[in-house]
Amino acid sequence: QAHMAESGGGSAQTGGSLRLSCVVARYPYVGNCLGWFRRAPGKEREGVVGIGAGGDIVYYDDSVKGRFTVSRDSAKNTVDLQMDNLQPDDTATYYCAARLGWFCPSTLEGYNFGYWGQGTQVTVSS
């Protein structure tokens, strides 16, 4: 049974926007930290953003600050990632993830997250 499922990936041009959405099973959605990660071809997985269970404590990687916005909707059990001013370096497979615990760690490490979606591809062309 899938706990998490992403959607919304696709292609965009430099400067464009995409919105990713992740539907999360009630458990682990309620009361836990949610995050977005990405893996670019030939690179290690990296944390993009983490949002605590209350939705008010958020950590963004420096590479996306000011361009990406995360939000969670408890009525829909979703966590969305609005990506604006996309750059070719944003090209990657994006994954949503959940970590047990109200707060997310300030440093996003994949090994701290126990639930993962299957990923959705984002491609940004110049």
Six-digit token string for 78: 């979703």
Please give the pLDDT value at position 1: 59
User: Residues near 112 by Cβ (< 8 Å), separated by ≥ 6?
Assistant: 99, 105
pLDDT at 56: 84
Contacts of 45 (CB under 8 A, 6+ apart): 37, 38, 39, 95, 110
- Per-residue pLDDT tens for 9-29? 999 999 999 999 999 999 999
Using pLDDT thresholds of 50, 70 and 90, give the confidence band for residue 33. Answer: very high
Q: What is the pLDDT of residue 57?
A: 85
**DSSP secondary structure letter of residue 55:** S
**Contact present, 12 and 19 (Cβ < 8 Å):** no
Percent of the chain with pLDDT over 70: 99
β-strand 58-60 against 78-83: which pairing, if any?
Answer: unpaired
Chain segment 87-106, per-residue pLDDT in tens: 999 999 999 999 999 999 98
Per-residue b or e along 60-96, where b marks 16 or more CB atoms closer than 10 Å to that residue's CB: bbeebeeebebebeeeebbbbbebeebbeebbbbbbb
